[in-house]
Amino acid sequence: MRLDKETLHKLIANKMHKAGLTKEDADIAADVLTFADLRGVHSHGAVRVEYYSERIAKGGITTHPKIEYTQTGPASAILDYDNGCGLVAAKVGMEKAIEMAKKNGVAVVGIKRMSHSGSLGYFTEMAANQGLVAVSMCQSDPMAVPYGGSEEFFGTNPIAFAAPSVDDRVISFDMATTVQAWGKILHARSKGVSIPDDWAVDVNGEPTTDPHKVNALVPIAGAKGYGLMMMVDVLSGILLGVPFGKNVSSMYADLSKGRDLGHLHIVINPEFFIGLDVFKRSISTMLDELKQVTPMKGVKEVCYPGERGKAREEAYLKDGIEIVDDIYQYLISDDIHFNRYDHKNKFAE
């Protein structure tokens, strides 16, 4: 099933508004989710709508949050979002960070007590599109084994980065600190396909290619990924005074309760350093030089981070966004949700 961008956005917004979000918040949530599907990151797109809608309908996402924004210094602030929609909270936090960085050169904005925030690349590209550099990171519930361990402790704890050039090219990457995000496992399950044997382990700690047998994910690059996922939890968890490590709330355990997650945006204004024009020209030079690197055997060309996602977006805008038929049928139905997720384990089972 292929849908144009406007149709998919409308279906998602309508469903989340029907679940209980205000129309404005539902539109923002749909922006973030549609962005993910446009870039081919289907694990963080429309596939998530039913889960969000069930949590909204059952009270686990505050539909009219009492938001508190506290600027704690010239370049720092904390946004308490009262367990409102994380997709919206992260956007509001980035808007605050952009404003602060434009004025003061640097901004560090922490968002605490929020729900799942979706594709982080959406938020970092907000900053890049305004001539800024951004890093964003957030916690997730425990589902990855620490390096050398056999039990899950940290979450996939993603990190995103974006920076502008003089043209329409934006360096942009959004990565889990595990070999793959949990959403990729969910997507493989929904498509009925196997996964590579280096993504996850089963209950015995052995590699598995069956997404239905996954018990835990593994850190990217072994000890290095383990260090990164710990760093994310320190900066978006401990630093903001929310639960951390194995105490981060489960996505599915009780959908009537807020998740109290933490998220951190760091935004830098190049004008306060080398100067924006020089910075953007240097980024463009770097990208041009990367494109001149001789590709290895079997590879057509060297791509810069974000290039393939942008190409997928252009193709989807032309030919329509690919959506699994079951998800489309849910989106056009009158049902808000089908009680698929509440009081399930970390695998929604």
- What are the CA-CA distances from residue 76 to residues 95, 106, 135, 137, 157 (Å)? 13, 8, 14, 16, 22
DSSP string, 298-316: T-S----TTHHHHHHHHHH
pTM: 0.94
At 148, phi and psi to the nearest 5? 85, -5
Average pLDDT value over all residues in the chain? 95
| Four-way CATH pick for 2-275+309-332: 3.40.190.10, 3.90.1150.10, 3.40.50.150, 3.30.1370.60 | 3.30.1370.60
Q: Which residue, 61, 56, 60, is CA-closest to 18?
A: 56
- Spatial contact of 341 and 256, defined as CB atoms under 8 Å apart: no
Q: If residue 146 lies in a helix (H) or strand (E), which one and from where to where?
A: none
Based on the residue annotation, tell me whether 263 is a catalytic residue of this protein: no
42, 116, 187, 263: the catalytic one is 116
- pLDDT tens digits, residue range 280-315? 999 999 999 999 999 999 999 999 999 999 999 999
Q: What percent of the chain has pLDDT over 90?
A: 87
Rounded average pLDDT over 118-125: 97
Is the pLDDT reported for residue 43 higher than 90?
no
What span, in angstroms and rounded, lies between the C-alpha atoms of 196 and 184?
A: 11
Burial of 106: CB neighbours in 10 Å, binned 0-12, 13-18, 19+: middle
